[in-house]
Amino acid sequence: MPFESIEVDELLLVLKIAFLVLLYLFIWRIVRSASRDIRTPQESFVLAPGHGFEPPRASAPVPARSAGRLVVAKSPTLAPGEAHLLDSASLTIGRSPTNHIELRDDGFASGSHARFDPRPDGVWVLDEGSTNGTFVNGSRIEGPRLLEAGDIVRVGDTDLRYEP
């Protein structure tokens, strides 16, 4: 019986030592990772003297450029052929009256359904978390999608054709 007690005590001692070794390895990995992050140069937002921001010089106003338009192909609310111009500002669409394009009687559209974002590289459409989704050419979009000429965007039961 005393031999079994000694073996259990030795086993517990070995397990304690193994636990401490693993604990120290874990702490060492954390310290090493943190020190690597500290040594990596970080981008500075502080400008050196004399290299500050220069305000733009007065020039002729730049006219807002058109990024295209959305033409109603089919809708229970909007007239077919109705066009909505896209300029430099985002354009929202949905059932809520706060949207730029209001789909009041479209039972499949959400209150804030989708947003069209004109950017320098083209017009992007983004679903705003709608219940029934936003579709481009019949495929549901999962994230921002760049529109091409002739794309059909479906919002609720409304189809819009993008024309650059």
**Mean of all residue pLDDT scores within the chain:** 85
What is the per-residue pLDDT across 18-39, written as a single tens digit (0 to 9) for each?
Answer: 999 999 999 999 998 887 767 6
pTM above 0.85, yes or no: no
What is the pLDDT confidence band of residue 8, given thresholds at 50, 70 and 90? Answer: confident
Which of 144, 114, 147, 116 lies closest to 131 in space, CA to CA? 114
Give the 3-state secondary structure of residue 55: coil
CA distance 47 to 159: 49
Which has more pLDDT, 62 or 16?
A: 16
Phi, psi (deg, nearest 5) at residue 129: 80, 30
- pLDDT at 150 (0 to 100): 96
Tokens for 51?
A: 């290299």
Q: Is the pLDDT of residue 41 over 90?
A: no
Burial of 1 per CB tally in 10 Å (0-12, 13-18, 19+): exposed
- Residue 155 is predicted with a pLDDT of 96
pLDDT tens-digit profile of 48-86?
555 555 666 665 555 555 679 999 999 999 999 999 999
Reduced to 3 states (helix: H, G, I; strand: E, B; else coil), residue 134 is strand
Average pLDDT value for residue range 91-99 = 94
CA distance 163 to 86: 10
- Between CA 47 and CA 127 the distance in angstroms is 38
Report which secondary-structure segment, H or E, holds 4: helix 2-39
- Quickly state the pLDDT bin for 139 (edges 50, 70, 90): very high
The predicted pLDDT at position 3 comes to: 56
